[in-house]
A and B are shown apart, each in its own frame.
Chain A
Amino acid sequence: MEHASAPILVAIALFSSLILWNIFTARRGKAGFIRRIPGLNEIDEAIGRATEMGRPMVFHPGVGEVQNVGTLAALGVLGHVARKAAQMGTRVIVTTAIPVVVPVAEDIVKQAYMQAGRPELFNSEDIRFLAASGDQLALATANVMEREKTAAHFFFGMYDYTSLLLTEPGQRTGAIQIAGTDQYFQVPFFIASCDYTVIGEELYAASAYLTREPTMLGSLIGQDYSKIIVLAVILLGALSVTFLGSQNPIVQILGATR
């Protein structure tokens, strides 16, 4: 296994402290402003449209294992989609190729329906493990879209080559499609075949943006401070190499040379 080097250790400690500090500051009621993310704004719009049409929605939490950060972020989005769907009395069908995701997604959706005071609408058959491999899952999900005449499709999480196999059949059904992934190779495919795409870290910010909970907002602000530090270090490194050469003390402290 890999072990943290000294600069990585310092970076983890610094970023974690910043994020936790901002979380606890936000919990004390000092939450900040976060900018608008169009793709995430449209989630409620898509749920509303599906409700008006009286059709179900499909949520696909990616092809990553449950411990994958992208999958965890996607499950956060699923919580919001399920809550809204429960409030509006709309069905949300979750399809996955990862068996461990089934009980977790089931619990999230069930809780959302119970919170909305409509537990009778929850149907465990709507949390579907369809196939063990990505391409078979894509076919089966396309079949669900066709058969159930779904009106909104959400694709959040980690994706591989199946991204296009999932979204192109969805595009043909005329449903509104919103996708978000941290796999930048798949981003162009989502942009081409979905109505809205959430890119990279916006996926990790999604549950914070959607729930507007102080904890989540604080975490986002902490992330932004951490990114400012990363940017400052990059600038410092670039300037020091430009003016002092590649073996200067700053570069050696940062661990960029061995």
Chain B
Amino acid sequence: MTKRRFIALVTFLAGLYYFLEFVVPPTVPWRTLRGEVVSVSDTTLTLLVDGAERQVTLLPNLIAYRERPNGAPERVEIQQLRPGDRASVGPSTYLSDYITSVNNFFIVLGSMAWGMGLISLAMVHSGNIRRRRPEWYGSVLFFIAVAGGMVAGLGYGRESGWLKEANDVVFNYLLRPMSSTVFSLLAFHMATASYRAFRIKSGEAALMMASAFVVMLGQIPIGMWLTHGLPSFLQLPVMAQWVLYIANSAAVRGMWFGMMVGAIAVGLRFWLSLERGAFFDREL
């Protein structure tokens, strides 16, 4: 079996589990009872189904879903059901029982990739040092920082000691403020980006400028003050709400429908290994 066909087979089998887990109901449909809970004991559950009481013997493969007030099902232990609850109870189709294990498998697989990330970084920085590229001493600092970070990481969860101190210094007193600093740069980036975006260069830019003007003024008290004497539909807060919740929502929902259908198509192409250009240089 070639590498490509092996990848395609593994991708298909992995996707098949998730697909089946989603489409197959969690309980066998023709053996599932749905109704109002009358009583629950250690060995039996009594449900009121279509006006008649039905007793269910509690076997190990039985699972229960309680209906939330909005009708959405919520998986619960049978003993958690209370009289008056709306619930459905039936034998498990088993697929959902393994979802945590399968997810854990992928988490383990993903965590292995952290090693690859570290190797990638080490290759880049060792190359910088070997070839004495400009600012190669920064790469030396990288290795020192990785070693220091690993040692400091050992102090996570400790109550006292120098490792805890090291952990605090590296993660709380260095990394956290630095991340906040980078995040705060966003304010300046937004200002420069907005300046460029709001220059009226075309009809679309003028429309964007006008709607941004209405939305911004409509969100602050001065917008109300400026237009309080006008009929309600011409007041800035009302217009801002219309732009945000009517015009904008319609456009966003349109995008969402397209994206969801697009996601199904991309998912199908990858699942069935029909995607040329990403993992395969030719169609299988």
Contacts and interface: CB of A to CB of B under 8 A. Distances in A.
A12 B23 contact: yes
A163 to B, nearest CB: 10
A204 B179 CA distance: 32
B270 A72 contact: yes
A2 interface: yes
A100 to B, nearest CB: 4
A107 B7 CA distance: 13
A223 interface: yes
A99 B114 contact: yes
Contacts of A205: 262
Contacts of A161: 183, 186
A204 B266 contact: yes
A75 to B, nearest CB: 5
Interface stretch (B161-169, B221-229, B238-246, B276-284): B276-284
B276 A211 contact: yes
A30 interface: no
A104 B275 CA distance: 14
A179 interface: no
Interface stretch (B45-53, B54-62, B76-84, B250-258): B250-258
A88 interface: no
Contacts of A193: 189, 193, 196
Nearest to A227: B261
Given A103-B113, A135-B179, A165-B186, A1 B194 contact: no
Interface in A1-59: 1-4, 9, 12, 15-16, 19-20, 23, 27
Given A16-B268, A184-B255, A139 B278 contact: no
B274 interface: yes
Given A16-B264, A128-B120, A200-B258, A215 B269 contact: yes
Given A129-B117, A165-B186, A215-B283, A72 B266 contact: yes
A210 interface: yes
B124 interface: yes
A221 to B, nearest CB: 10
Given A135-B179, A207-B278, A213-B276, A3 B193 contact: no
Interface residues of B, number: 62
Given A125-B127, A165-B189, A200-B258, A219 B277 contact: no
Interface of A: 1-4, 9, 12, 15-16, 19-20, 23, 27, 65, 67, 69, 72-73, 75-76, 78-80, 83, 99-100, 102-104, 107-108, 111, 115, 124-125, 127-130, 132-133, 135-136, 138-139, 147, 161, 164-165, 167-168, 171, 182, 184, 188-189, 191-193, 199-201, 203-205, 207, 210-211, 213, 215-216, 219-220, 222-223, 226-227, 230, 258
Interface of B: 21-26, 70-71, 73, 96, 99, 106, 110, 113-118, 120-121, 123-124, 127, 134-135, 179, 182-183, 185-186, 189-190, 192-194, 196-197, 252, 255, 257-259, 261-270, 272, 274-279, 281, 283
23 contacts: A3-B23, A15-B264, A19-B268, A23-B269, A67-B106, A69-B267, A72-B266, A72-B270, A76-B277, A79-B278, A99-B117, A100-B113, A107-B279, A127-B120, A128-B120, A128-B124, A129-B120, A139-B182, A182-B262, A184-B255, A193-B193, A201-B261, A213-B277
Given A3-B26, A69-B263, 13 more contacts: A1-B99, A3-B23, A3-B96, A107-B279, A139-B182, A161-B183, A165-B185, A165-B186, A182-B263, A201-B262, A204-B263, A204-B266, A223-B265
Instruction: Enumerate the 8 nearest inter-chain pairs by beta-carbon distance, A residue then B residue, closest first.
Output: A99-B117, A204-B262, A192-B197, A129-B117, A201-B262, A201-B258, A192-B193, A79-B277
